[in-house]
Amino acid sequence: MSPHLQGIQLIAFDLDGTLIDSVPDLAAAVDAMLADLGLPPAGEAKVRDWVGNGSRKLVERALAHAGDGAGEAAGREDAHERFLRHYAATPCARTRLYPGVREALTALKAQGFTLALITNKPEAFIAPILSALSLQAYFAMAVGGDSLPRKKPDPLPLTHVAERLGVAPEAALMVGDSRHDVEAGRRAGFRTLAVPYGYNHGEPVSLAGPDGEVESLAELV
């Protein structure tokens, strides 16, 4: 067994940038929202650096980049609703699993680990995306960025999942691509494992000091 999994019962995965490369669909929805407002498109490279703090922050960053950052709260709310509508229409047209993900989830589940999903993405998008990628059956629980009063980097979603699943924090591992996953994991008392291929605001995730790092989830099996 991988040394990262010694003593672990529960493995909590981040979604965007860890299991799925969702930026093509997120960027399309951001650009459609910007077009509605008569603003120029942001493009995938920019959106890649803005993902990870939930949809409101993503929209705020896109508006700020377009020079519309000082906009009224009502304008930001309208932009956010437009983004949600566009993303809801096509949440999984060009979103893909990263290499090794399905194999790792299948093997880890077969080995008896409890698997959970903890994302900052709004909860409404979790089921459609998991279903489009045939991933629903792997997870005992899934928590979104608006499921609880606080999201990552707050430890609340992680402690909530561990409690609900009856697993002590020290027997739980948080696997993610960003400093928010590492910080939430550390504050929840989970062990933390980072993947370097996702979205971390343009910085190497190793700077966040995870307990371990793997190039691909395939290394876990």
Catalytic residues: 14
Q: Is 181 annotated as a binding residue?
A: no
* Shortest Cβ 201–ligand PGA spacing (Å): 11
- Options 4, 65, 80, 121; binder of ligand PGA; rule CB under 6 A: 121
CB contact set of 170 (below 8 Å; sequence gap of 6+): 7, 189, 190, 191
Between 82 and 95, name the residue whose CB sits nearer to Mg ion: 95
Contact yes or no for 202/44 (Cβ under 8 A): no
Q: Residue-wise over 83-93: b if at least 16 C-beta within 10 A, else e? A: bbebbeeebbe
* Shortest Cβ 64–ligand PGA spacing (Å): 16
Please report whether residue 52 would count as binding ligand PGA according to CB under 6 A: yes
Please report whether residue 51 would count as binding ligand PGA according to CB under 6 A: yes
d(C-alpha 86, C-alpha 26), whole Å: 9
Of residues 119-178, which lie at the interface with Mg ion (CB under 5 A)?
A: 177-178
Q: Is 177 annotated as a binding residue?
A: yes
d(C-alpha 221, C-alpha 101), whole Å: 11
- Residues in contact with Mg ion, total (CB under 5 A)? 5
Known binding-site residue numbers for Mg(2+) = 14, 16, 177
Known binding-site residue numbers = 14, 16, 177
